[in-house]
Amino acid sequence: MKYSAIALALAAALAATPAAAQGGDAKAELAKVKPKDFPTEPIEFTVVYPAGGGMDVTGRLLAKTVEKVSGDRIIVNNRTGGAGMVGHAYLATQAKPDGYTVGVIANLMWGDAMLRAQNRWAYTDLEPIGYINSDALIWIGPTEGPYKGMSVKQIVQTAKDKPNTVRIATVPGSMWDYIVDQVEANFGAKFLRVPFQGGGAGITALIGGNVDVAQGFYSEFRGHLEAGKVAPLGVAAPDRMDFLKDMPTMNEALGGNEYQWIIIRFAVVPKGTPADRKAYLGAAVQAAMKDQELIAEYKKAGVYFDSKLTNPATMLQNLNEYAAREKEFYQKTGRLK
Amino acid sequence: MDAINGLMTGFGVILTAQNLYFCLLGSLIGTLVGVLPGVGPLAALALLLPVTFTMQPVGGMVMLASIFYGAMYGGSTTSILLNIPGEAASVVTCIDGHKMARQGRAGAALGIAAIGSFIAGTLGVIIMTFFAPAIAAVAIRFGPPENFGLMVLGLVCTLYMITGSPVKGVLMIALGFLCAAIGIDVVNGRERFTFGSVDLSAGIELLAVVIGLFGVSEVLGNVETMAKSTLVSEKIRGLWPTLNDWRQSWRPMLRGSGLGFILGLVPGGGPVTASFMSYALEKRISPTPERFGEGAIEGVAGPESANNAAVAGSLIPVLSLGIPGNPVTALLLGALVIHGIQPGPLFVTQRPDLFWGIVASMYVGNVFLLVLNLPLVGLWAQLLRIPYRVLFPVVLLLSVIGTYSANKNVFDLWVMLGFGVAGYVLRKLEYDLAPFVIAFVLAPMLEQSMRQSLAMSADGAMIFLQRPGTALLLAASALLIALIFRRKRKIEGGMP
């Protein structure tokens, strides 16, 4: 097949350049923990969402930088389906724990493990080796029509005074839905929930005037924000975002501290991966995350870095705390017995 | 005029040796991707995405876009020659295209498909040049209720796909709906009909269904007739479309271009929907609808134009608003983001070089593709002379590679095989396969748009009548159904 030959030749030629261009400290550091017999073949970075999406971009940028700092060959593979479920199950139950499979995943895996895995696997089957970045869920409103200029509080009040009139875009069975659950339960409000397959589709519906409130990540609506088509209302994170200092947190706007819905992206290896290989891969990911170019790329994409997770020494403990917090929510709302 | 200035900027950007090379390379890869059954534009783009990282953004985007529309050129080739669609947007081309090939008119069918693709692609990009921002502003208003109206119209159009027994045809449509219901419920996120299987929780993969039903079952069916050494009678009459072919084809090409472009713009549209709605349209307005299914050249000219125009249409919301309507355009959007470019409404003004560069490259790319594809017609027609024992193992191999490459999920291969056997049995029992696939494609969008509309409506189902766009589309659907019944009565009444 001519076409794959071209693709392979191009890929090989281009992949060689960044690795060769970089030398220096990171590489020397890594060399110290590098096992003798590893890696002898390309390492697969498994992304469980489709090519081109936010998670895929994150994974590919990371892979590019890990190649640069380690000199190892990385292949990014999208194993998609079931909104990540198929890929998560693959990583937890099928992937060989030999160090050649690294999952670039998000904390959405916890929900899959706790609610949908039916005890076939648990989130502890995937061992975190390095934190990547975070993205907090943001409520956005329109810049025209009756809801123009309203704050989160005012919108929630409207949904309470006139139930089933305010249309909000959600993604069923996920944090997009859970935060609406919380708001409705705490304020006695009732929204018209319009289901979409992802945050981006809901934002499109907001701009088209088909919903009144949408929820999404900064990178998903930044273009529309700059064009004045949408207004940021509140962010479901503990602190305000650096890039939108004027936007309150949902906790500030509504009171309380439970409105925290954040995508946390991190790299994992399947449980049972040899300790030396796991340590090496962890060091490679952490070295990549120190690369200024990569940090700049991620910042440009609109993500932020959670100071609780950027320190490798306490990352695991804090990640587990976040997972426990999510479990508590599922138990409290009767989703998990 | 702004558009003219913009286009000049674009040609300034694109007419460098390097960018022309990427455009040509993309066209070539696109054609091959289209020709190879199973390997679709989505898989190819995902595979080549990393290659564009180190390229200039213009070169990278030009290459990726040309793969997308190039695939629409190549897709018809195997539909016509082997009755196996190169990708989903060429399923309907099998119906009349392959009949033509069996009548020794493969050359004419391939030629018309290539020329129709060129005309539609070029018309699409001309409209894009002058009206992109205005069109995008209208297209974004197209919400769930309008999408529902469109899907209902699409469903009515599938009735025109039925060539044999109407009862069997409707059964296949129902079966398509059932199979599409497997997976995660779009509203409450719960699993349906998965029997606890992780693999089924994702639903059934469209690509595996198409390759199984058309590719594998075609191979199975032909193994029986292995006694003959080639697919089609040795005689291939005329490699080029005749004057009469032209007379019959130019109107379908123009109609297909218009229809495809509009359908490309809207969220539920895209090349697949465009191709079969164009087929239904041609069959509906043809004075001789009985020729459809028996090698009518309009059944090739219309759909093959429509899927190319739909590509141009679907690029408009992505480039002028940053809103993708299908997985391929979502991937193009991702490519922009990786290059550090913020897609969105300001993209055209912030990066005129990139926007107009891509537009200009589409003029060039369509010319490349026509020049590439016309001489290939003769070569492809020779494919028919390859003996079964060589051709079919190759087709099967490509089917397996193509299916696996989409998700890297082995389960999809079993789905492909299962649908291959099912397709073989259904063909034996004279069931149409095209209505099944089309219902399978439409069902999730129909369900989602209906339930979204009801969720956002304060007055329940009244929303479908309150929105003028939806009401219009539903009225058109009702009219078409009425016409089908009237004609049926007329035919029955005319029989002695």
Give the Cα separation of B392 and B398 in Å (integer). Answer: 10
Return the DSSP state at B431.
-
Chain B CB contacts of A212 below 8 Å: none
Give the Cα separation of A75 and A45 in Å (integer). Answer: 6
The residue among B230, B245, B228 whose CA lies nearest residue B107 is: B245
Return the number of other C-beta atoms located less than 10 Å from residue B356's C-beta. Answer: 25
The residue among B339, B424, B355 whose CA lies nearest residue B5 is: B355
Chain A CB contacts of B343 below 8 Å: 223
Q: Please give the full DSSP string across A69-105, using - where no structure is assigned.
A: HH---EEEEE---GGGHHHHHIIIIIS-SSSSEEEEE
Chain B CB contacts of A209 below 8 Å: 141, 143
Return the DSSP state at A302.
T
B-contacting residues in A 65-124 (Cβ below 8 Å): 76-83, 85-86, 89, 116, 118, 120
The CA distance from B144 to the nearest CA of chain A, in Å, is 8
The DSSP bridge pattern shows strands A43-47 and A192-195 to be: unpaired
Chain A CB contacts of B335 below 8 Å: 52
Pair of tokens at residue B364 = 């060039």
pLDDT in tens, A51-79: 767 788 889 889 989 999 999 999 888 88
pLDDT in tens, A157-190: 999 999 999 999 998 888 999 999 999 999 999 9
More confident residue, B16 or A83: B16
- A50–B327: do the CB atoms touch at under 8 Å? yes
Task: Evaluate whether B315 touches B263 at the Cβ level (below 8 Å).
Answer: no
The CA distance from A54 to the nearest CA of chain B, in Å, is 8
pLDDT in tens, A29-47: 788 899 999 999 999 999 9
Domain boundaries, chain B: 2-232+239-493
Name A263's bridge partners. A135
User: pLDDT at position B472, please?
Assistant: 94
Give the Cα separation of A130 and A59 in Å (integer). Answer: 12
Give phi and psi for B474, each to the nearest 5: -70, -35
pLDDT tens for each residue of chain B, 496 residues long? 678 888 999 999 999 999 999 999 999 999 888 888 767 788 788 778 777 877 888 999 999 999 999 988 888 888 898 888 877 888 899 999 988 988 888 889 999 999 999 999 999 999 989 888 788 878 888 889 998 999 899 888 888 878 778 899 899 999 999 999 998 787 777 788 988 787 887 788 888 898 899 889 888 888 877 655 455 554 566 667 889 999 999 999 999 999 999 998 887 678 888 998 999 999 988 999 889 989 999 999 999 999 999 999 999 888 888 887 777 888 888 788 777 787 777 888 888 899 999 999 999 999 999 998 888 887 877 777 778 788 888 888 888 888 887 777 889 999 999 999 999 999 899 998 888 988 898 898 899 899 999 999 888 899 999 999 999 999 999 998 898 888 766 665 544 4
Give phi and psi for A283, each to the nearest 5: -65, -35
B-contacting residues in A 256-275 (Cβ below 8 Å): none
Which chain A residue is nearest to residue B36, measuring alpha carbons? A1
Return the number of other C-beta atoms located less than 10 Å from residue A144's C-beta. Answer: 11
Distance between alpha carbon B319 and the CA centroid of its chain, in Å?
Answer: 20
Alpha helices in B83-234 (DSSP H): 93-102, 106-139, 144-158, 166-180, 198-201, 206-210, 217-224
Band of residue A191 on the pLDDT scale cut at 50, 70, 90: very high
Task: Evaluate whether B189 touches A172 at the Cβ level (below 8 Å).
Answer: yes
The CA distance from B335 to the nearest CA of chain A, in Å, is 6
User: pLDDT at position B24, please?
Assistant: 95
Is the per-residue pLDDT at A126 higher than 60?
yes
Percent of chain A at pLDDT exceeding 90? 63
- Cis (ω within 30 of 0) for the bond into A39? yes
Is the per-residue pLDDT at A200 higher than 90?
no
The residue among B18, B20, B47 whose CA lies nearest residue B32 is: B47
Return the DSSP state at A40.
S
The DSSP bridge pattern shows strands A138-142 and A74-78 to be: unpaired
The residue among B118, B119, B154, B211 whose CA lies nearest residue B438 is: B154
Predicted-complex ipTM score: 0.81
The residue among A185, A183, A230, A184 whose CA lies nearest residue A211 is: A230
Give the Cα separation of A217 and A232 in Å (integer). Answer: 10
Sequence-distant (≥ 6) Cβ neighbours of residue B283 within 8 angstroms: B160, B289, B292, B299
Pair of tokens at residue B236 = 């291939």
User: pLDDT at position B491, please?
Assistant: 61
